[in-house]
Structures are given as C-alpha cells and as structure tokens.
C-alpha cells in the first residue's frame, strides 16, 4: 500500500484522484472538508444537513475532477461546487422563490463600538428568509456580482439587488435589537 505524502504537489494529487486513487481523494477531502463544511453551513442552518450536502458535493467533485482545467484555484472550483449543491438542496427542500420588486439600495450606518461573536452573526444570517440568505451569502461572503448571482439562480440582476437590500434591512434591524439588548443588560 502506497502512502501519499501530504506535501505532494496539488496537481499530482489531483491527477491521482482523477484516476480514482482513494488515498488521493481522501487527501483532498481531508484538506478541504473543514472549509467546505463552513461554506455549506452558511447556506444550510442544520449542521447535519450541511454535512450531508457537503459529502454529496464532494462526490460530484470527484466525479467531475477530470473537468478541472487548472484555471483559477482548485479550492475555488470546489467551493463553487459546494455553493451550487447548497442552492440545489435548498430549492428542493424549501422551494425558494425570489420576489421581484424595485426596492433600491440604502446605506447602512456602521458603528464599530459594538462587536458581535461569529455565532451571533451566523445566527442573524440564519434568521433571514432562504432567498435573502442565499443572495446575501453569494454577494457578501462569496463576492459574486448581482449579474452573476442572477445567472446562477435564474433571476434577473434587479431581483438579486432587491433581495440583497431586503436582507440588509432585516439584518440592520436585528443588529439594532442586539445593540439595545447590550445597552440595557
């Protein structure tokens, strides 16, 4: 049994994994699964469901590994697969609908004097309706443009902007509630 050196070049490990080398696949999984579980968790509140989606997405990664063309980062390619699988899961489970309207952006005042824990922030994001949450994560966390988000979700760019504006407004209100609780406790 040949052991794969964890410090082998990523391209060599990918080439072995393409040939269904289980050790190479395990190496890739071990390296990227913690980050990818975090990505899935951003979209799916339940940790066990997020883990299930991540495992399904990794299966797709390994099935499609031969299509990776070394254009851009390998981690980014895996991440996109994770995001797409999360969106598919949410659509199947919840039948997310995006409502088109013409609400524009509003600036959010930021106050640096109050800090929130990661758990508080994740809880606030988890509290968003699924459509808002998906677009918020894609725009803020993943850095996609509204045009790209629209293309990914099959909606127009204006709908993405509108959903994002609604998400920001909800989060701003929730942050104000938390700030008030901290002031009076």
Select the more confidently predicted residue: 105 or 12: 12
Give the chain's length.
185
For residue 95, pLDDT over 70 is answered with no
Dihedral sign of CA atoms 90, 54, 50, 32 in order:
negative
**Helix or strand (DSSP H, E) at 12:** helix 10-18
Contact residues for 148 (Cβ-Cβ < 8 A; gap 6+): 138
Tell me the pLDDT tens digit for each residue of 49-93: 999 999 999 999 999 999 998 888 999 999 999 999 999 998 888
pLDDT computed for residue 175 by the predictor: 87
């Amino acid at each position: 049994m040949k052991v794969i050196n964890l410090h082998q070049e990523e391209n060599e490990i990918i080439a072995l994994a393409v040939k269904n080398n289980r050790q190479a696949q395990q190496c890739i999984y071990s390296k990227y699964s913690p980050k990818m579980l975090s990505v899935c968790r951003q979209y799916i509140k339940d940790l066990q469901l997020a883990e299930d989606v991540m495992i399904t997405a990794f299966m797709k990664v390994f099935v499609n590994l031969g299509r990776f063309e070394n254009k851009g980062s390998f981690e980014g390619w895996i991440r996109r697969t994770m995001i797409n699988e999360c969106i598919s899961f949410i659509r199947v489970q919840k039948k997310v609908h995006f409502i088109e309207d013409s609400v524009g952006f509003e600036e959010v005042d930021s106050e640096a004097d109050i800090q929130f824990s990661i758990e508080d922030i994740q809880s606030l994001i988890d509290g968003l309706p699924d459509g808002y949450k998906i677009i918020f994560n894609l725009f803020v966390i993943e850095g996609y443009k509204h045009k790209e988000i629209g293309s990914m979700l099959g909606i127009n760019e204006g709908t993405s902007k509108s959903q994002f504006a609604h998400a920001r407004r909800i989060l701003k209100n929730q942050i104000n509630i938390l700030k008030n609780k901290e002031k009076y406790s």
